[in-house]
Amino acid sequence: MKRARRLERLRPTFPLIFWQLCERCRMEFRREWGWTLTVGLSCSIYRHVCASCAPERKDAENFFLPRGMGSDSFRPPPSE
């Protein structure tokens, strides 16, 4: 039985130029701290959460991996 994949790379980010969309509050942030999760090996996916939603690393980890696998399970359905 395979456990949930470990967090690939979770690192603090401080975007200066580009806006990053926080996946939790759906606000774009820039020039403030947040977290970037890099998922995947061949095709990397970058996911972001702002520091307001995840002030500490463990908050970001809990957000990105709330209950093991199924990182898509908590995504809201597309509203478009």
* Residue 25 or 69 having the CB closest to Zn ion: 25
CB of 33 to Zn ion, least distance (A): 11
> Contact residues for Zn ion (CB under 5 A)?
22, 24-25, 50, 53
Q: Nearest approach, Cβ of 16 to Zn ion (angstroms)?
A: 18
Q: State the greatest distance between any 2 C-alpha atoms of the chain, in Å, as a whole number.
A: 42
Q: How far is the CB of 21 from Zn ion (least distance, A)?
A: 9
Are 22 and 49 a contacting pair, CB within 8 Å?
yes
- Beta strand 20-21 with 34-39 is unpaired
